[in-house]
Structure 1
């Protein structure tokens, strides 16, 4: 089961039907979470994290990019980031209840080098896979399997199209809006978002476009790899110096 839902899952009801089974299976495979408070060290590009927690294996309107990635421990974050992500998804469920969201890779339980990513080392970064619509305009899960690198090898054009799939820009914008609100509430505002520049322009045309233009910082430089099938979000937390790690 390379993807928790598979491409055939068409609506939020399908997520709820699988939630109990998926959570049970993943809870057996995953180690128990630490009871300590998360502490980040250094930076996203050169850092570590202690007492990180895994993102929930299943939510009302969201799930992971790959159950294998969850099992391998590639979805750990600082606990404040976990709370931000969960709160934002809950808010998005209230405004867009039929939209499916997937989170991508985040980092390891102790942080540090996280290949093939250049960052994701301090528990403060999260990849979010783009929500997509099928040819009938219905929200569906992004295809995810080993052949397309669990979604990371998919390539959308400047209009957000890939075969019969269309990036749901309204859903991306709503999600970023809710992430920004939740991040401020938890005292860890969004530092930056990395998304293809031509796709950011599409976000500015959505209902939340003006808010995003005013309140969310998108990286202006061209990313080192394409960020079209996912948007990378860095949160600002008071991380300790790397020299403190392990003391």
Structure 2
């Protein structure tokens, strides 16, 4: 069996049985005023990615709409094939198996995911961004104007590749992306990458200033048809 096929099997094996057997999720309302039924838990780790927190994942803070889960997993599988040395970390989704946990005000219907920026260390090696209780699980990290934090530098090529693969995976699953929030100061660096022109044309980046700085992570809202929220 081809190596990539084994990789996909390994990814699937990391998902909880309940996630694999779950029916299609149902979202209601909007990212600002909504809810989710039948959410699916993202895998806690894979060959080229990990969740931001073992405790957060264990507590159930990484559930999303089933189609969003397919998109995220597919994007990491594609990245493992295209850029196998890169390492990625995803953040909170705002949902748990028992109901909504809302760490942000725009994660209410299961269609939003935070992704921490891929970084390189002082030796130029791709490494996971360090997320711990001491830096509020990564959300307290602040990059300077040169995209540096301590010994880490944002890898814009890896960031662009991830956004590109997410867009392709979303289209392949009959979905899309409605919003990308990333620090506008860093957008010129992102758009100067190999996929920069495509991203600038195809993805809806927030043009205004968000409520909190999005330098250590990029927030993505996926486009999936939801029923109206009643009550």
TM-score w.r.t. length of structure 2: 0.89
Q: Tell me which residue corresponds to 1:42.
A: 29
Query: 1:1-247 to 2 correspondence within 5 Å?
Result: 32-33=18-19, 35-109=22-96, 112=100, 114-115=102-103, 117-243=104-230
* Aligned-partner Cα distance in 1 for 2:58–2:74: 23
Give the number of aligned pairs.
Answer: 219
Unaligned runs of 5+ in 2: 1-6
* Aligned-partner Cα distance in 2 for 1:111–1:184: 28
Pair 1:111–1:223, CA change in 2 (3 A): farther
* Aligned-partner Cα distance in 2 for 1:134–1:202: 18
Q: Aligned-pair RMSD on alpha carbons?
A: 2.0
Unaligned runs of 5+ in 1: 1-15
CA offset digits 1:27-73 (Å, max 9, x no partner)? 6xxx9446222000000111101000010122121110111110111
SS at match of 1:225: coil
- Superposed structure 1 runs of 4+ greater than 6 Å apart: none
* Aligned-partner Cα distance in 1 for 2:147–2:198: 21
Contact persistence 2:22–2:40 (CA under 8 A):
no
